[in-house]
Structure 1
Amino acid sequence: MHKPTIQDVARLAGVGVGTVSRVLNNHAAVRDSTRQTVLSAIHQLDYVPNPHARRIAGGKSYTISILLPVVTTEFYVRLLDGLEAAFQEARYDVAIFPLLDRARLERYLGSHTLAYQADGLVMATYNLTQMFTDNRLRDQQPVVLVDAYAEGVDCARMDNHLGGVLAGEFVAQQAGHLYAIWVETELDQVFTSRVFEERSAGFHKSLTAAGRCTTAELTSSFDPHAARTVAARFLDGAEFPATVFASADLLAGAVLDEAQARGLKVGTQLKVLGFDDQPWAAARGLSTLHQPVEAMAYEAATLLLSRLSGHRGPPRVRTFEPKLVLRSSTGPSSTGEAK
């Protein structure tokens, strides 16, 4: 009989090798149920870890590094769910690296840092290619961008320009004053994103085509308290009837909260359109642009896994389209999927 290996434990437990390693090292970032499953497999196989083993046999870590701006918003929780679902099916674990400032970025992108010791790399939302020499990604391992686009690399992206167009077409049809609230396009002056620039471009394109313009536009960060403050400032200066396009559901939810606190009639006196279709949006009657976040993330993972399996073809781009979903926040008659 051969001596049990860490791969045997991972297969029996139905997890990635990285998860087994974290259990062996008593790492906190493991669910109790998963920990018990792994420990049970270890006991069943009578596996004894080799304290001197530095790398997985075959030179693979069976781990994927995920670099993303933050991990605290609903969008990124859903994005991680989609990525992890695909990677876990392929028995890969994930290591998450939030990029919060320039020092962390430079540390993570160093050639010998932990992020680059994984078998593959996922970069989310922010186009980090400008941070590399000659705008070229390192070729130490396969890379995929999700919720972003760059030439020369596999990408799974949302058509945010189309989403802005759909939002603008709908808002332009509404009577009264028109407003917009945008998400900041820079994080800590380091990372630039085209996501909200594309939504804004599409939105204004539709308004211009319809001969309309906004009365005012505001900007907010993703912080819930900041979003509520901006929502209050918007309503302080708003002229009614009004329609507002909030470029993320988090911002739209803050507007709904503030409007409710002021006793405003949402759907008539004030119409609110969001973007994302977060899980809570339907319950709150929020009209929004639905984007299949989990499906986009799953496709990004699939692209990366194909590279790890030997695919050597040219870069591929998978584009997902948002759909306008109308609910009571834009009026009692505007319900259902519009486009």
Structure 2
Amino acid sequence: MRKPTIQDVARRAGVGVGTVSRVLNNHVAVKGVTRETVLRAIADLDYTPNPHARRIAGGKSYTISVLLPVLTTEFYTRLLDGLEAAFQEARYDVAIFPLLDRSRLERYLGSHTLAYQADGLVMATYNLTTLFHERRVRTQQPTVLVDAYADNVDCAFMDNVTGGRLAGDYAATLPGALYAVWVETELDQLFTTRVFEDRRSGFHEAVTRAGRTVRREFTSSFDTLAARNTAAALLDEAQTTPGGLPATVFASADLLAGALLDEAQLRGLRVGEDLRVIGFDDQPWAAARNLTTLHQPVENMGYEAAQLLLSRLGGHRGPARARRFEPTLIRRDTA
């Protein structure tokens, strides 16, 4: 059987080829009912556009560049799932550019870099748009921030202050000394991200309001070995300081919470009694480990960020828009 063509889709949907093309390009000038009719025809015929012909005809790459801090955490894997789901629906390819460290970031600052030859740009967690104003990066593509907020660019972000408050409100009701573990990476020293700063401010606000104090705070990177070393240092202090146990720890990312659970098990501590742990993320493994944590709708946040960018690519020219997401506390056995 021959492959269905765009003309076949147009005939089945009862529209012109140009309308089908606009639907494929996610153009805003197509009515909702018409769009649904065309998408149904595409699905019925199992039509797949020729990407090479599409690029030539449209003068576009049909590629979106995604700049991520790292690739090795479950958070960014889930974020990518949400982004890619939306972009694939609109038949855009995704090119991933992990920043990782200063040297790699410097390579991405040149306007000749492939990252800036895509039709659109997604920046995760770190707002690099200040580099555009400094003319260190020259790009005209529509840009969206995800897991970050700015008032001059489209963004989809988590309300981390509220998440920190929820953790602090709950931690303050639990017995024993309070500890906290925060995340810092090399990129934090180069660019501003408010993710963990906001979680920290919300947590301290709630703890102070409840008349409690945090005995000590620790900092770790996203590296699993660093997280385990930090967990060991925290538990060393708790076990050797009078009144250090029982203890409640707010680990500002589930990766850090998991390291605490591993270290506590190694030391024979009773999690939920000697040590209470509250995480942040609700990663897929959190339920299996009975981790009390703040659930983040990460995939939904990624999907919404992609939709904001796709609407720009489809012709939207309005002011910057912000989509806010709020974490929810999930209580399990660790606290």
TM-score range, shorter chain: 0.7 to 0.9
Where structure 2 has 5 or more consecutive residues not aligned to the other structure, the ranges are 9-23, 26-46, 239-243
Alignment counterpart, residue 265 of structure 1, candidates 265, 270, 273: 270
Q: Matched residues in 1 for 2:289 and 2:145: separation?
A: 32
Matches within 5 A, 1:95-244: 95-134=95-134, 140-184=140-184, 186-187=186-187, 189-238=189-238, 239-244=244-249
Q: Matched residues in 2 for 1:190 and 1:115: separation?
A: 19
Percent of paired sites with the same residue = 73
Q: Matched residues in 2 for 1:204 and 1:125: separation?
A: 22
Alignment counterpart, residue 282 of structure 2, candidates 267, 277, 282: 277
Match of 1:314 in 2: 319
Match of 2:303 in 1: 298
Deviation at 1:211, TM superposition (A): 1.2
Matches within 5 A, 1:7-26: none
Q: Do the aligned partners of 1:83 and 1:301 also contact (CA within 8 Å) in 2?
A: yes
Q: Matched residues in 2 for 1:129 and 1:194: separation?
A: 15
AA at the equivalent of 2:132: F
Q: Matched residues in 2 for 1:138 and 1:212: separation?
A: 49
SS in 1 for 2:257: helix
SS in 1 for 2:189: coil
Q: Normalising by the residue count of structure 1, what TM-score does the alignment of the two structures yield?
A: 0.80
Q: Matched residues in 1 for 2:80 and 2:108: separation?
A: 19
Q: Matched residues in 2 for 1:313 and 1:132: separation?
A: 20
Q: Do the aligned partners of 1:169 and 1:206 also contact (CA within 8 Å) in 2?
A: yes
Q: Matched residues in 2 for 1:120 and 1:132: separation?
A: 14
AA at the equivalent of 1:252: A
Deviations, residues 185-232 of structure 1 (Å, cap 9, x unaligned): 542732332100000000000111111111111001101111111111
SS in 1 for 2:232: helix
Q: Do the aligned partners of 2:65 and 2:120 also contact (CA within 8 Å) in 1?
A: yes
Q: Matched residues in 2 for 1:101 and 1:222: separation?
A: 13
AA at the equivalent of 1:306: S
Q: Matched residues in 2 for 1:251 and 1:144: separation?
A: 28
Q: Do the aligned partners of 1:129 and 1:150 also contact (CA within 8 Å) in 2?
A: no
Match of 1:82 in 2: 82
AA at the equivalent of 1:147: D
AA at the equivalent of 2:282: D
SS in 1 for 2:320: coil
Deviation at 1:134, TM superposition (A): 4.6
Deviation at 1:323, TM superposition (A): 0.2
AA at the equivalent of 2:101: D
Q: Normalising by the residue count of structure 2, what TM-score does the alignment of the two structures yield?
A: 0.81
Deviations, residues 42-91 of structure 1 (Å, cap 9, x unaligned): 9xx9x9x99xx9x6322111100000111111000000010000000110
Q: Matched residues in 2 for 1:136 and 1:322: separation?
A: 35
Match of 2:255 in 1: 250
Q: Matched residues in 2 for 1:164 and 1:138: separation?
A: 36
Higher relative contact order, structure no. (Cα contacts within 8 Å, ≥ 6 residues apart)? 2
Q: Do the aligned partners of 2:125 and 2:145 also contact (CA within 8 Å) in 1?
A: yes
Cα–Cα, structure 1 residues 135 and 193, in superposed 2: closer, same or farther, change >3 Å? farther
